[in-house]
């Protein structure tokens, strides 16, 4: 092991508290991107990052405004032209904290319980941003950077319609790199380092079904006027057949089938039905017939109802025939599906199945393509070796059911592939109440990143 690597590893061991404190600082800023009232906090988070990146020795640090939330860019190219350049991704925005009453501590007051730090954004993904900062800091403070480093940190990942794609198109030269490091995925378990080689795309919709011009008495008018909540329920229940397949016409036409070899590989991963049963605390699993739960969540497309609203949902009773019903519906997509085609398929379904008694409106919010990343690049290999050094075992390769849209955009616009890693765990309650990060895994992650950056030039 090189002397520099050894010193950097010692540095992170001696600076765990500093890393933890940094993470707590950024987590305490409630940068909820979807909430217009938090625009000030979003700005604060971007400015916090700018300050940190400057003190991290980045030679150029800029905040680029967008029509919504700013993008933070930084670079240190001191390693020189003959060394590889890593473009490191992050998003400093977080999901809303609701339902607030289900949190055991304040979502924006980082609270340590045992080995976990609880707070919104801890695992998704401020902790991971700090892990990359801590690794770079350790390397810089003990010697010279072995690679050129660029940071691209957005504030719109958790909402549809991020401006990052346009930004990448407009700044190709500035963002030029040899590969993209995306620390926004996770690990399967604390002792299972993981490389994610596929992420699903997403088509997100809001469906509104309009009935009478206003809420009406359900006794006087029920039976004569079609209830839009009932229409909505009928429409939604028709979106799956009894084999758990999505019924939209053409939905599966472009789906790339799993090869026999990949199915075999996936079946060997230590991710069984028991894992899903336990994570969800459910009695039984559900999904598309003929596929394992892991295949259904990673390699097959799905359709989910994300939210439903109609009529009276307060305490007690109210005999009302609601004026409208609303549902949020999203499809997770796999190669080679196209999110705009899914919009057309959904529209066709509604045209064919919505009764004449109502009117409806379908709006598309997200339209993001799925991605598959090269598993054999030297950048991935550098992480395989890094994981072996940090955890003592080779990482598993898995597909992820969630989406990180930027991965496709850098593939298309910059022509580079992504190393998708991260230190969040399935039990970290991502997007839910009591989000947390497992601190021993976070520290191991910093160690893995230090190895990774050194491995890149070897
Ligand atoms: N970090 C997640 C993606 C993810 C989820 C990675 C689970 C690994 C495991 C990311 O921040 C996220 O939640 N993305 C959204 C994107 C959407 C709003 C376009 C998602 O997947 O819902
Ligand atoms: Mn994330």
Ligand 1 midpoint to CA 402 (Å): 5
350 and 317 both lie in a single domain:
yes
Average pLDDT, integer, range 273-285: 97
Q: Which of 402, 425, 426 to mutate to test the pocket of ligand 1 (most atoms within 8 A of CB)?
A: 402
Q: Give the pLDDT score at 257.
A: 97
Q: Summarize pLDDT for 360-416 with one digit per residue, the tens.
A: 999 999 999 999 999 999 999 999 999 999 999 999 999 999 999 999 999 999 999
| Helix/strand number for the chain, H first, E second | 14, 18
Q: Give the pLDDT score at 405.
A: 96
Ligand 2 midpoint to CA 157 (Å): 7
Q: Does residue 344 carry a pLDDT above 90?
A: yes
Q: Computed over its alpha carbons, how large is the radius of gyration of the chain?
A: 23
Ligand 2 midpoint to CA 22 (Å): 18
- 123 within domain boundaries: yes
Nearest CA to ligand 1 atom 4: 402
Confidence of residue 90 (pLDDT cuts 50, 70, 90): very high
Atom of ligand 1 nearest to the CA of 124: 1
Q: Give the pLDDT score at 440.
A: 98
Atom of ligand 1 nearest to the CA of 196: 8
Element (H, E) at 16: helix 16-27
Ligand 2 midpoint to CA 124 (Å): 4
Q: Which of 271, 430, 431 to mutate to test the pocket of ligand 1 (most atoms within 8 A of CB)?
A: 430
- 145 within domain boundaries: yes
Average pLDDT, integer, range 75-81: 98
- 275 within domain boundaries: no
Give the sheet arrangement for strand 359-368, strand by strand.
302-310, 324-333, 201-210, 359-368
Ligand 1 midpoint to CA 157 (Å): 8
363 and 377 both lie in a single domain:
no
81-114: b or e for each residue (b if 16 or more CB lie within 10 Å)? eebbbbbbbbbbbbbbbeeeeebeeebbebbeee
Sign of the torsion angle spanned by Cα atoms 25, 31, 37, 40: positive
Atom of ligand 1 nearest to the CA of 403: 21
Nearest CA to ligand 1 atom 7: 402
Q: Summarize pLDDT for 208-248 with one digit per residue, the tens.
A: 999 999 999 999 999 999 999 999 999 999 999 999 999 99
- 424 within domain boundaries: yes
Q: Which ligand is nearest to the CA of 162?
A: 1
- 32 within domain boundaries: yes
26 and 161 both lie in a single domain:
yes
Measuring CA to CA, which residue among 202, 155, 163 is closest to residue 48? 155
Q: Give the pLDDT score at 1.
A: 82
Q: Which ligand is nearest to the CA of 127?
A: 2
Which tokens in the block code for residue 153? Answer: 């940190």
Q: Find the residues whose C-beta lies inside 6 A of ligand 1.
A: 124-125, 157-158, 160, 184-186, 202, 366, 368, 400, 402-405, 430
Which tokens in the block code for residue 14? Answer: 């001696």
Total structural domains in the chain? 2
Tracing tokens 């938090």 back to the chain, one arrives at 38
- 342 within domain boundaries: yes
- 266 within domain boundaries: no
Atom of ligand 1 nearest to the CA of 426: 9
Task: Please say whether the beta carbons of 215 and 311 come within 8 A.
Answer: yes
Q: Does residue 450 carry a pLDDT above 90?
A: yes
- 280 within domain boundaries: no
Query: 194 has which bridge partners?
Result: 396
CA–CA separation, 330 vs 160, rounded Å?
Answer: 11
CA–CA separation, 78 vs 250, rounded Å?
Answer: 51
Domain limits for position 321: 201-255+301-368
CA–CA separation, 126 vs 51, rounded Å?
Answer: 15
How far from chain centre, in Å, is Cα 175? 21
What pTM does this model have? 0.95
Among residues 368, 383, 408, the one where a domain terminates is: 368
Among residues 368, 388, 422, the one where a domain terminates is: 368
Measuring CA to CA, which residue among 265, 283, 282, 285 is closest to residue 273? 285
Q: In sequence order, what DSSP letters do the residues of 36-73 get, joined into one string? A: GGGHHHHHHHHHHHHHHHHHTT-SEEEEE--SSS-EEE
Query: Within 13 Å, how many C-alpha atoms sit on residue 448's CB side?
Result: 33
Confidence of residue 249 (pLDDT cuts 50, 70, 90): very high
CA–CA separation, 337 vs 312, rounded Å?
Answer: 38
Among residues 319, 336, 368, the one where a domain terminates is: 368
Q: Does residue 458 carry a pLDDT above 90?
A: no
Atom of ligand 1 nearest to the CA of 184: 1
CA–CA separation, 62 vs 53, rounded Å?
Answer: 10
> What's the N-to-C CA distance of the chain in angstroms?
11
> CATH code at 315?
3.30.70.360
Confidence of residue 435 (pLDDT cuts 50, 70, 90): very high
Measuring CA to CA, which residue among 273, 269, 267, 275 is closest to residue 287? 273
Average pLDDT, integer, range 331-344: 98
Bigger pLDDT: 33 or 1?
33
Q: Give the pLDDT score at 161.
A: 79
Cα angle 200, 241, 331; round to 5: 20
Nearby residues of 254 by Cβ (< 8 Å), 6 or more positions away: 336, 337, 338, 341
% of the chain with per-residue pLDDT over 90: 99
Task: Please say whether the beta carbons of 248 and 342 come within 8 A.
Answer: yes
Burial of 427 (0-12, 13-18, 19+ CB in 10 A): middle
Q: Does residue 107 carry a pLDDT above 90?
A: yes
Task: Please say whether the beta carbons of 179 and 89 come within 8 A.
Answer: no
Tracing tokens 């979807």 back to the chain, one arrives at 34
447 and 414 both lie in a single domain:
yes
319 and 426 both lie in a single domain:
no
Average pLDDT, integer, range 116-127: 98
Q: Give the pLDDT score at 72.
A: 98
Confidence of residue 160 (pLDDT cuts 50, 70, 90): confident
354 and 427 both lie in a single domain:
no
Q: Give the pLDDT score at 94.
A: 98
Burial of 6 (0-12, 13-18, 19+ CB in 10 A): exposed
Measuring CA to CA, which residue among 199, 95, 232, 190 is closest to residue 408? 199
CA–CA separation, 202 vs 204, rounded Å?
Answer: 6
Q: Give the pLDDT score at 427.
A: 95
Which tokens in the block code for residue 54? Answer: 């400057």
Average pLDDT, integer, range 302-309: 97
Pairing of strands 85-91, 148-154: parallel
77 and 153 both lie in a single domain:
yes
221 and 352 both lie in a single domain:
yes
Q: Which ligand is nearest to the CA of 425?
A: 1
Atom of ligand 1 nearest to the CA of 158: 18
Q: Which ligand is nearest to the CA of 129?
A: 2
146 and 79 both lie in a single domain:
yes
Confidence of residue 288 (pLDDT cuts 50, 70, 90): very high
Q: Summarize pLDDT for 161-179 with one digit per residue, the tens.
A: 789 999 999 999 999 999 9
Q: Summarize pLDDT for 47-74 with one digit per residue, the tens.
A: 999 999 999 999 999 999 999 999 999 9
Q: Which of 96, 124, 161 to mutate to test the pocket of ligand 1 (most atoms within 8 A of CB)?
A: 124
> 3-class SS at 134?
helix
49 and 124 both lie in a single domain:
yes
176 and 315 both lie in a single domain:
no
433 and 347 both lie in a single domain:
no
> CATH code at 100?
3.40.630.10
């Amino acid at each position: 092991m090189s002397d520099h690597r050894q010193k950097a590893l010692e540095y992170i061991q001696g600076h765990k508290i500093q890393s933890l404190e940094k993470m707590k600082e950024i987590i305490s800023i409630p940068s909820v991107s979807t909430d217009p009232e938090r625009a000030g906090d979003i700005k604060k988070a971007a400015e916090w990052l700018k300050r940190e990146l400057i003190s991290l020795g980045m030679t150029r640090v800029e905040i680029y405004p967008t029509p919504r939330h700013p993008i933070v860019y930084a670079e240190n190219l001191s390693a020189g032209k003959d060394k590889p350049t890593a473009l490191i991704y992050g998003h400093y925005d977080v999901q809303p904290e609701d339902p607030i009453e289900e949190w055991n501590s304040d979502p924006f007051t980082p609270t340590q319980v045992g080995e976990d730090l609880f707070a919104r954004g801890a695992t998704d993904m401020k902790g991971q941003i700090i892990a990359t900062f801590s690794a770079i800091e350790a390397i810089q403070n003990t010697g010279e950077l072995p690679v050129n480093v660029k940071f691209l940190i957005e504030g719109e990942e958790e909402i549809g319609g991020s401006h990052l794609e346009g930004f990448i198109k407009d700044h190709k030269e500035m963002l030029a790199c040899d590969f993209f490091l995306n620390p926004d995925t996770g690990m399967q378990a604390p002792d299972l380092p993981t490389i994610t080689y596929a992420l699903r795309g997403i088509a997100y919709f809001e469906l509104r079904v309009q009935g009478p011009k206003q809420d009406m008495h359900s006794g006087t008018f029920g039976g004569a006027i079609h209830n839009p909540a009932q229409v909505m329920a009928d429409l939604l229940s028709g979106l799956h057949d009894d084999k758990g397949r999505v019924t939209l016409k053409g939905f599966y036409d472009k789906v790339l089938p799993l090869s026999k070899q990949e199915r075999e590989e996936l079946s060997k991963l230590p991710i069984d039905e028991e894992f899903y049963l336990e994570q969800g605390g459910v009695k039984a699993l559900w999904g598309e017939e003929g596929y394992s739960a892991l295949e259904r969540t990673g390699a097959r497309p799905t359709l989910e109802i994300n939210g439903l609203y109609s009529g009276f949902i307060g305490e007690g009773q109210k005999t009302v025939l609601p004026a409208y019903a609303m549902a949020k519906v999203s499809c997770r997509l796999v190669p080679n599906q196209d999110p705009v085609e899914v919009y057309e398929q959904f529209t066709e379904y509604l045209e064919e199945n919505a009764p004449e008694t109502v009117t409806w409106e379908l709006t598309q919010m997200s339209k993001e393509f799925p991605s598959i990343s090269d598993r054999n690049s030297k950048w991935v290999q550098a992480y395989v070796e890094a994981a072996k050094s940090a955890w003592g075992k080779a990482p598993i390769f898995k597909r992820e059911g969630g989406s990180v849209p930027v991965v496709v955009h850098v593939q298309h616009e910059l022509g580079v592939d992504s190393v998708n890693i991260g230190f969040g765990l399935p039990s970290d309650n991502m997007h839910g109440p009591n989000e947390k990060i497992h601190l021993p895994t976070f520290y191991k992650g910093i160690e893995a990143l230090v190895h990774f950056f050194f491995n890149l030039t070897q």
